[in-house]
Structure 1
């Protein structure tokens, strides 16, 4: 897939990594490379510009040659705060939409952005979120940049700061992605055991 210049991309790397012993999951090694590198490789060709959302290890993450965006609110309000920083940055790039993925998901679909964009159909201002196996993945989405002000107000005034709460309130549509051979394309690494499973999957793919 070629880059869509109207769509900017954001890799969300703000997780606390509690189930990984407090380690920054984005920088955990998978096949001799940081976990986030696998997400970037799959995602970067799909967007016109790319940034990383993170509130720690900015120096190490900047080694990827991408802008590293911290939340503007120091309270660390979760993924929506990272998405807000991304929407504001995307607006400055001239993009109409922001696509988001998680740093701890090494098998992000290579056609994620195209499928999300197609899934909005005749409603380009809808928020498109990925779905697999009947489960919605809130941080894998396509967001109209025009929602920046509404999201800032939501974070300031609404107690429910979950991604789903905001998405439902502003026109969400789900976009289905197939599970091939029992493998969920949105498999993410939260624990050492899941990191081992990701290694096994990569090894199987290279055989």
Structure 2
């Protein structure tokens, strides 16, 4: 004769409690009788539950109110997306929990090192470090861009000054050429007006004697 739904539910609930109790002990070294296992334990119980966002709903239901599918999911996700951690780990982060003497003496910290919660905290810390490095890099890049813009502005100013200097020199060269042309014309006119100007006084008086 097959089991009734209530009998199957009761059996799965007991199996679920036993699996959770064993998981708590394996993970934290904390002994909790299956009948006393809870999904919303208090700090005094010495354990807490860490769960991924996709299975957060598991912690919103009391074990006594769960159904067959609920218990099956908990048993399946234990150690995968649902695991026992110390209350300190859940509240303050893995690093603070590992520094706690109580956690070190119980061996809980070393047990948590291989958990997905520890991995998530490690990834979060790495992500914070990367964000910090990215912020520093962005600051340095912005500073370099500002310096580049300043140098470009100075370069444009120098180019304008060079162009102005070239234009000035060109005008001065044109003016000098004009002045030279004018002086040449004056000299030519003077040469035409005084063609004998090259003769000295003695040469003129000597030519006048009989």
- Greater length-normalized contact order (CA 8 Å, ≥ 6 residues apart): 1
Is the TM-score greater than 0.5? Answer: no
- Between Structure 1 and Structure 2, which shows a larger proportion of helix residues? 2
TM-score by length of 2: 0.20
- Between Structure 1 and Structure 2, which shows a larger proportion of strand residues? 1
Larger CA Rg, structure 1 vs 2: 2
